[in-house]
Amino acid sequence: MSENGKRSLSSAEVRQRREAATVHGGYSANQIKARARAHRRRFLRQIGLRASGLDAVAGAYLDAWARALARVDLFDLDDREREPREYFAALNSARLSMGKLETRLKALGLDRGAKSQTLAEYVSKTYGGEG
């Protein structure tokens, strides 16, 4: 019992009550937040960066992209009828955010292209001469 005479909730009950409010996946802040975190981590792992290596603007673009993509994922999983405009708005937001993030990473010199060589450079270096 707690101080006010009511029993405290177990962790399973707290989780159940949080998830009870998530009727529609694409509108659930908890589900969007969890999926966005996974998308951010995957993106950073795949390009070989750390979140601390990004500046504030690149971090904001990454967050916007991850949240929009999480909404798209959750709309895809949801079998309910919805306004198609909301789905395409989230998809367009993800596309635009990724474009801005790509531009920002290039400006900072953090894009993958800066670290990897082109095919022509590889052929020239490996085999000598023109590719």
Q: How far apart are CA 28 and CA 105, in angstroms?
A: 30
pLDDT reported for residue 131: 43
Q: How far apart are CA 61 and CA 94, in angstroms?
A: 10
Q: Where are the domains of the chain?
A: 25-127
User: Mean pLDDT throughout 59-83?
Assistant: 90
pLDDT reported for residue 78: 80
Q: What mean pLDDT is reported for the chain? A: 83
Give pLDDT tens digits for 49-61.
899 999 999 999 9
pLDDT reported for residue 96: 95
Q: Would the pTM count as exceeding 0.85?
A: no
Q: How far apart are CA 44 and CA 95, in angstroms?
A: 17
Classify 116 as helix, strand or coil.
coil
Is 64 in contact with 99 (CB distance < 8 Å)?
A: no
Give pLDDT tens digits for 86-124.
899 999 999 999 999 999 998 988 876 645 556 677 677
The pLDDT > 90 percentage for the chain reads 44
